[in-house]
Each structure stands twice: as C-alpha cells, then as structure tokens.
Amino acid sequence: MSGISGRPGPSEHAPYYGKYIALVEGHDAVAALELSSKESRSLLGSIGEERSHHRYAEGKWSLREVLLHVSDAERVFVYRALRIARGDETPLEGFDPDEWIGRAGAAARPWPNIIEEAASVRAASMTLFHSLPAEAWLRTGTADGSPISVRALAFIIAGHDAHHRRVVAEKYL
C-alpha cells in the first residue's frame, strides 16, 4: 500500500511542523520517504569517519550527532504514527532532542555503524507505512499537546530529513 494521496492540511499538525512538510514535494508520503532515503544515503556515503566528527561552530552538533538526532526523531514520529494509526487516543509526550543527543554516545561509535542504524530505522519506518490500511492515514491523535495525523507524521519525517540534509550540505560539507 502507499500513503493517502494528498498533503496534510494545517489542522493535521502543529504550526511548527509546517516548515518540514513544506520541504516535501509531491502528494504521496511513502514516495516522499523513499526518495528521502535515497538522497540521505547518497549524502552520507560521501562523508568519512574523520569528517563525521566535524562541528560547524562551537556548541553545535557533530555530523554524527545530527544523524543520530534524525534517527531518534524518526523513531519518535513513527511511534506516534503507529499509536495513532491503531486508534490509540492516549496523548503522547514531546521530547527534548538536545537532552537526548547528549546521551547518545555519538563520538564513541564508528561512523558506518551510525549510518547503518539510520538505514535500519528508515527500513522499519517504511515497513510500517507500507502496511497501513487507507483509513489509518487520516487518523489523528495528540502529540506534544497538538493534533497530528498519521499522514502528517510521514511528511514530517521526510521533511525533517530534508531539512537536516540541507543543513549538512550548507554548513558541514
């Protein structure tokens, strides 16, 4: 299966996420995620172990921390999508990426392992999104105090990835 045709409307997500959704072309969330995955693999493959420790400014995340952040956020967004797609109406909490990345141990891990983790996270996300029945895509729930749809979450994942790819290309490479 693929995502419901059509982009999520403003009522399907908090205004903050609009900037990520705007970075996604097209109207199919699954196609957007597949393209996002290919583009990320291409970019990450051009970065070596030494360069992966680079920070473009004092206090900014290293490249490896950026990639772990993208994976962490994707896991959270997919977890939200799963809960909402299954009809769970429990409000879901937010998370603080800065606190999480400080505990990720990025500097001690081999860069290829971090890239492999990102690919595994995306593969698991794609498996879930491919399996969703049509009616699940439009289900909404509450996350971090705001309404969110499954469809919006898929677009947010693709757009969040695109945002960080752009930051990496402009500030790190």
8 A C-beta contact, residue 81 and residue 148: no
CA-CA-CA-CA dihedral for 149, 36, 160, 17, to nearest 10 = -40
The percentage of the chain sitting over the pLDDT mark of 70, rounded to a whole number, equals 97
Confidence at residue 2, expressed as pLDDT on a 0 to 100 scale? 52
Per-residue pLDDT tens over the stretch 101-149: 999 999 999 999 999 999 999 999 999 999 999 999 999 999 999 999 9
The boundaries of the domain holding residue 111 are: 10-172
Residue 74 located in a structural domain: yes
Residue 3 located in a structural domain: no
Residue 67 located in a structural domain: yes
The percentage of the chain sitting over the pLDDT mark of 90, rounded to a whole number, equals 91
Residue 34 located in a structural domain: yes
Q: How far apart are CA 96 and CA 61, in angstroms?
A: 14
Cα–Cα distances (Å) from 45 to 2, 52, 108, 170, in that order, read 27, 11, 19, 17
> What's the total number of domains in the chain?
1
Under DSSP, is residue 148 helix (H, G, I), strand (E, B) or coil? strand
Residue with tokens 């937010």: 94
Per-residue pLDDT tens over the stretch 11-43: 999 999 999 999 999 999 899 999 989 999 889
Cα–Cα distances (Å) from 136 to 67, 84, 131, 132, 152, in that order, read 29, 8, 10, 6, 12
Confidence at residue 72, expressed as pLDDT on a 0 to 100 scale? 98
Over 60: is that where the pLDDT of 1 sits? no
Per-residue pLDDT tens over the stretch 76-94: 999 999 999 999 999 999 9
Largest CA distance in the chain: 46
* CATH assignment of the domain containing 44: 1.20.120.450
Residue 24 located in a structural domain: yes
Q: If you compute the radius of gyration of the chain from its CA atoms, what whole number of angstroms results?
A: 16
Supply the DSSP symbol for 92.
Answer: B
pTM (predicted TM-score): 0.95
Residue 114 located in a structural domain: yes
8 A C-beta contact, residue 63 and residue 172: yes
Residue 4 located in a structural domain: no
Residue 2 located in a structural domain: no
